[in-house]
Amino acid sequence: MCTGIVENTRVAGSGKTPHGWFPLDQVSVSYDHPDHAQAERAVIIDFLNESIGLESRIALELTPESAKNLVHAILASLSRGEGEGLGARKESLQ
C-alpha cells in the first residue's frame, strides 16, 4: 500500500494451487512495490476466493512491461476466440 493503487473486480473461473483447483470470485490488481519480483514497481495480481480465505490466494508480480504484454495477449486471445462478439462485450463492461 505504498502507492494506494488497487483495482478490485469480480471474476468467474477456476484457479489452481498445490492443494488443487478451486472456484475464483475476486481479483485484486495493484501497482506497488513487489515482494519478490526483481523490479522497483510491479503489477501485483491476487486471485482469490473470499469464502475459502487466504489459502486460496494465487499471486503474481509482473514487471509493468510484462503486465502490458499479458493484457495484449489476453485481448488477442479473446479477439481470436470471440471475434466480433468481443466488441459488444467490451462495450458492456464500460
Partner 1 sequence: MHMYRTDMYEGMIAETVMVPGHNGTVINAYFARPLGSGPFPGVVLIHHAPGWDEWYRETTRKFAHHGYLAISPNIYYQFGHGAPEDIAAKVRAAGGVSDDDVVGDITESLGYLKSLPQSNGKTGLFGTCSAGRQTFLVACRTKGFDGAVDCWGGRVVMSQQELTPKYPVAPIEYTKDLSCPLLGLFGEEDQFPTPQQVAQHEQELKKYGKTYEFHMYPKAGHGFFYYDRSGYRQEQAVDGWNKVFTFFEKYLGTAD
Q: Is residue 65 at the binding interface for partner 1, with CB under 8 A as the rule?
A: no
CA distance 8 to 46: 9
Q: Is residue 55 at the binding interface for partner 1, with CB under 8 A as the rule?
A: yes
Calculated CA dihedral for residues 22, 26, 32, 38, nearest 10 degrees: 20
Query: What character string, x for contact with partner 1 (CB under 8 A) and - otherwise, covers 1-40?
Result: xxxx-x-x-----------------x-x-x-xx-x--xxx
- 15, HSE (Cβ side, Cα atoms, 13 Å): 20
Which residue type sits at 6?
A: V
* Residues at the interface with partner 1 (CB under 8 A): 1-4, 6, 8, 26, 28, 30, 32-33, 35, 38-41, 44, 46, 48, 53-55, 57, 59
